[in-house]
Structure 1
């Protein structure tokens, strides 16, 4: 009897089991509509400023073996950069798959057509509109706005919509974060507590030290009283006080020099920090009281003690937003940055944290600047291991991870690779050139570690946004416009070093703002526009011809090798009022002067000069002369021609069904 019924019982059991499996399958498909898609994992390592020629040479010399090995597995080659080849433009190309005509970022600096003053291109803070005044207190009744000025969708939003877990670490030009991914940490474009790109403090007890004015920071002259030295950590203006009072948020710094070999004790915000000469501190959190019992502002600083004798010299970093107490939008979700800091410790949150201004001002020596850049590099790698593990734990996942220290170090030391640079020193510069090469080899070692960690589970891509060139000669664009009659100054002035304040707008047809942009003084757009729509085409062609015909009087070489007419070159201009009318592509080794980029006008005799400042390398030139790199270990990837094609390359890798943005 039992034997006779066994087959029917087995059949019933199989039927029940099949039903359960079907229900489980339906449940899985309901909770994960992309479960039927193949498992895909991709990591993109973005190395800002990694030069193709330098990388290729070191590979050929056998000094970047991991790059060479991966190139044999997959491919390696140049990656076209943006027009102009500036980091916020280039990374916006990468993010959106569009050029500047689509995403609206043309430079680090744009200009307000109504005020003709330079302004940051990546983000904008709109202060609260309404306030209630109680005595000296100025209490806002709304929160104001923080706006990311880049336009267009980002490719990782499409990935997330198609079931790909996305982690975007320190993406430039993504402040505040757009929130299109699962995780986003801001990078280049994130300000310090003062709202700029970094303001340091240098405490010096040498008599008269405070008389020196420096760009990007402040020198505080101090002296000893009753065995202690008092200084001040100055924050931003207090937003809760009447603006006319210019009341700065401040914290006292008390410094005691001990008898232990020049060691000091710093008392800041009830914290004691001990330092010896040549030593860097860890992050020191600080809290500014904006309004007692109502609002505080949180930041953090690092100290570097150079010496205590014969004078005290103490460097204080720009005040970064504290990732453990973020008072601005540093990440998406908002608490993601706090989780990162709790996992691995505090880290630089300011975009471009390498203190180039302190080096340019002579506050940090070249060796000290390298040390600080090494610290920023360590900070930027704190989260890498956990993010890679997270990548491998998800079925379909994408990780973008950015490194910026190579770019900033190259800006400050690239002349060491160029014997033709006017300040090249054959005795010392080979040492610094070797240090740059070591940074490339360090990245090669990192890529080797990542390749081993990812194994065959994930594809690895390494890209850079542009390459590098020496900055030997500078051309003052506004001075050139003055020389050629496109720009006129008032009252017989021969220059305007304070910006565009001395320009006679009634007789000026063109002016320059930013590193590469030239604007027409157009009627109906500029505040004092004089050029009509009918005159515009001929004027633009005349400017283009004159720029391309310009020769550097020192070398006789062409100074500008490309001139891009934005209305013709970019794909979707859409009458963007921020767009320059022309973009100058300088010859390799030549760049617009920094003062002209801010609107200053040099004298006619100073249009071309040798560049001798510490910032000795650049890339804001003809984009064809400074390509970036593309490396992958996957032979099935269709190599992108330029950064704009990277979005399509990534979407195609995941086969999301999305068309190119």
Structure 2
């Protein structure tokens, strides 16, 4: 009797291929070394903006933001200007898990970012960051009860940031233990067609301690490499489980974006205010207080590099008609490309939404999406007065250079294409929603 085809996916959140190879050269991460030194290892580009919810949703829907509708961690209410965290209820198209389930195929998913709240599927789902509570992060409910008994930790506490490396290391050890517990429960028996395990420890370390991983002489390099040795052991366990599956089978390993050492944060709201395009009605209560964007503002920014033109047709206090917004968008694109820090250009590209996104959710998109050169972190806070600065982080996301491996040698260009490879593996038709984005520097 023919065996069922199985596909195993391993997510290594935020891990660049170049850094993976540097770490593998230490000799302490043999399982990572076997993957990143393979001829099937290559770099992959992130979807834009280069954030986890945008990219993991693109992976899990096999679609771009113009179709699934997720453009960042946050969205702004067009009537009240309140900023809120976005979650999986905003995803506007079916997931690959929905489509597999409709074919009678089973998916089991552990720690997938941007999947909260977990919705019913054929199989099991444990949502990852951002997931505020275990019961709604897990499907089916009986799995949530079982995980609760093990002390399952949804996410590491990073609130102490770079000030307390011991606390972060302790938290990351706990998340690794939780992921292994979930793997033990769900992989047993091989009752699945698609298995997805995402490990997010690299992203958390690189945000707060990028130099500790990248520089072997850093005083914290040893402790963080010790942590990654545990992480590598779990990778090895997953690879062994995959190895024991009967043929036909396929393995994919991927990061959702790259990473770079932070040179400086660059706040685009400070820049817009300096251009006379953003006015604030009163003092903000916190960095997320977008409610104070004044009626006379022509534009504002949200993290990481999303710029919204203040159009009458879109926002309650909007001032620009569509034709004026179009002209301003073209001008801003040129002016943003001219931003310099210590004499160097900050931007790699500035995209207009209509050039970047295609699909029914285009109206939800930011009007411009800025892509920074490696080392620059674009922000859109509402309480900053200085355009450049450091705020407790030493690493930032990068749009290029993410780690990708496929046991078949496939070379997807970005995260949605990985999802499409999964659909193709199971002979499920797909809808192509846009061509690949291309770099524009003028």
Q: Does TM-score exceed 0.5, indicating one fold?
A: yes
Give the counterpart of 1:446 among 214, 234, 257.
Answer: 234
Give the counterpart of 1:522 among 308, 311, 314.
Answer: 311
Give the counterpart of 1:640 among 412, 415, 421.
Answer: 412
SS class of match (1:431)? coil
Matches within 5 A, 1:465-484: 465-484=256-275
2:439 alignment counterpart: none
Contact conserved, 1:476 with 1:608, CA < 8 A, in 2? Answer: yes
> Alpha-carbon deviation of 1:448?
2.7
Matches within 5 A, 1:46-61: 46-60=11-25
> Alpha-carbon deviation of 1:440?
4.2
SS class of match (1:377)? helix
Q: 2: distance between equivalents of 1:451 and 1:184?
A: 20
1:439 to 1:52, Cα distance in 2 relative to 1, 3 A: farther
2:152 alignment counterpart: 347
Matches within 5 A, 1:246-257: none
> Alpha-carbon deviation of 1:481?
0.3
2:145 alignment counterpart: 338
Matches within 5 A, 1:69-108: 69-70=34-35, 75-108=40-73
Q: Which has the higher contact order (CA 8 A, sep 6+)?
A: 2
1:9 alignment counterpart: none
1:572 is aligned to 2:366: no
1:357 to 1:413, Cα distance in 2 relative to 1, 3 A: same
Q: 1: distance between equivalents of 2:221 and 2:348?
A: 28
Q: 1: distance between equivalents of 2:253 and 2:91?
A: 24
Give the counterpart of 1:556 among 316, 319, 343.
Answer: 343
1:435 to 1:562, Cα distance in 2 relative to 1, 3 A: farther
1:41 to 1:512, Cα distance in 2 relative to 1, 3 A: same
Give the counterpart of 2:299 among 510, 518, 526.
Answer: 510
> Alpha-carbon deviation of 1:497?
7.1
| Aligned-residue CA RMSD (Å) | 2.6
Q: 2: distance between equivalents of 1:489 and 1:334?
A: 45
Q: 1: distance between equivalents of 2:102 and 2:25?
A: 42
Matches within 5 A, 1:90-489: 90-122=55-87, 148-192=89-133, 321=134, 326=135, 329-341=136-148, 345-349=150-154, 353-359=155-161, 365-391=164-190, 394=191, 397-416=193-212, 430-455=218-243, 457=246, 458-489=249-280
Q: 2: distance between equivalents of 1:522 and 1:37?
A: 58
Q: 1: distance between equivalents of 2:359 and 2:185?
A: 40
Give the counterpart of 1:608 among 354, 374, 388.
Answer: 388
Q: 1: distance between equivalents of 2:223 and 2:405?
A: 23
Structure with a larger share of its residues in strand: 1
> Alpha-carbon deviation of 1:479?
0.8
> Alpha-carbon deviation of 1:368?
2.4
> Alpha-carbon deviation of 1:608?
2.1
Superposed CA deviations along residues 509-539 of structure 1, whole A, max 9, x for unmatched, are 1111232211111012111111111112211
Matches within 5 A, 1:28-47: 38-47=3-12
1:588 to 1:110, Cα distance in 2 relative to 1, 3 A: same
Superposed CA deviations along residues 573-615 of structure 1, whole A, max 9, x for unmatched, are 5443x3211112122111134xx33x33x33xx2223x1x332
SS class of match (1:480)? helix
Contact conserved, 2:31 with 2:233, CA < 8 A, in 1? Answer: yes
SS class of match (1:54)? helix
> Alpha-carbon deviation of 1:73?
6.9
> Alpha-carbon deviation of 1:501?
5.6
Q: 1: distance between equivalents of 2:197 and 2:230?
A: 16
SS class of match (1:449)? helix
Contact conserved, 2:105 with 2:122, CA < 8 A, in 1? Answer: no
1:173 to 1:616, Cα distance in 2 relative to 1, 3 A: same
Q: Which runs of 5+ in 2 are unaligned?
A: 433-442
Q: Highest CA radius of gyration, 1 or 2?
A: 1
> Alpha-carbon deviation of 1:62?
4.5
SS class of match (2:169)? helix
Equivalenced residue count is: 427
> Alpha-carbon deviation of 1:441?
4.2
Q: 2: distance between equivalents of 1:156 and 1:502?
A: 40
Q: 1: distance between equivalents of 2:174 and 2:197?
A: 17
> Alpha-carbon deviation of 1:446?
2.8
SS class of match (1:167)? strand
With structure 2 as the length reference, what TM-score do the two structures score? 0.88
> Alpha-carbon deviation of 1:431?
2.4
Structure with a larger share of its residues in helix: 2
